[in-house]
Amino acid sequence: MPREFSRQRRVSEQIQRELAQLIAKEVSDPRVSLVTISEVRLSRDMAYADVAVTRLGAGREESQQAVNALNHAARYLRAVLGQNLALRSVPVLRFHYDERFERSDRVCHLIDEAVAEDKARHQGR
Per-residue confidence (pLDDT) for residue 1, from 0 to 100 = 47
- Given strand 92-97, what is the order of strands in its sheet? 35-42, 48-55, 92-97
pLDDT of res. 125? 64
User: Structural domain boundaries of the chain?
Assistant: 2-98
Mean pLDDT of 14-40: 88
Which option is the CATH number for 2-98: 3.40.50.620, 3.40.50.11810, 3.90.960.10, 3.30.300.20? 3.30.300.20
Asked whether the beta carbons of 91 and 42 are under 8 A apart, the reply is yes
Handedness of CA 74, 79, 25, 15 (dihedral sign): positive
The pLDDT assigned to 104 comes to 67
Q: How far is CA 118 from CA 105, 109, 110, 112, in A?
A: 20, 14, 12, 10
33, pLDDT greater than 70: yes
Q: What is the per-residue pLDDT for 95?
A: 95
End-to-end CA distance of the chain: 60
